[in-house]
Amino acid sequence: MLFDVMEIQKILPHRYPFLLVDRITELIPKEYIEGYKNVSISEPVFQGHFPDHPIYPGVMIIEGMAQAGGVLAFKSMDSASQEEIANKVVYFMSIDKAKFRAPVRPGDRLVYRLNVIKNKGTVWFLDGKAYVDDKLVTEAELKAMIVDK
């Protein structure tokens, strides 16, 4: 484990119920990140999606990938202090080629794996994939920018 949820909250501004990364397990600055979210039936989204057939929404999977990508971008900032990170935020500019290959259900561990396609200054291009039990469930290309709050 590299970062637990307490450490992630020092990096990202997201909080319950919208913090969608529980742990970061691998990180190579400017290259790669892996993390996960344990999907629980107690997630508020399952009250309406769907009460008798709970499926974790694809948009939430993409957001979780984006949050993991945000951790990667922040941790790739050369010699950035905690204070500098606290005054920045990651905005996602585009999500392309999104595909949803299998449903995610309560009890699943959703593993996010993102590779840097390229980085130009504060702009990041990421290839994101999400897995359950090593089965690809979602993929997308994400473009993000680090900006001042």
pLDDT in tens, 76-119: 987 777 787 888 999 999 999 999 999 999 999 999 999 999 99
pLDDT of res. 83: 80
Q: Summarize pLDDT for 25-66 with one digit per residue, the tens.
A: 999 999 999 999 999 999 999 999 999 999 999 999 999 999
The average pLDDT across 124-142 equals 98
pTM metric for this prediction:
0.95
Question: With contact defined as beta carbons under 8 Å apart, do 117 and 127 qualify?
Answer: yes
pLDDT of res. 84: 79
Identify the DSSP state of 110: E
pLDDT of res. 86: 81
Rounded to a whole number of angstroms, the CA Rg of the chain reads: 15
What is the CATH T-level fold of the domain 5-148, as seen in this structure?
Thiol Ester Dehydrase; Chain A (3.10.129)
pLDDT of res. 112: 98
147 dihedral zone (left: phi>0; alpha: psi -120 to 50; beta) = beta
14, 23, 49, 143: which one is catalytic? 49
pLDDT of res. 82: 77
In the chain, what are the domain boundaries? 5-148
Cα–Cα distance, 12 to 18 (Å, whole number): 11
pLDDT of res. 14: 94
pLDDT of res. 78: 78
Q: How far is CA 120 from the centre of its chain?
A: 20
Question: With contact defined as beta carbons under 8 Å apart, do 90 and 144 qualify?
Answer: yes
- Confirm whether 49 is a catalytic residue: yes
**Which two three-digit tokens encode residue 106?**
């309560």
Identify which of 14, 51, 50 has the alpha carbon closest to the alpha carbon of residue 37: 14
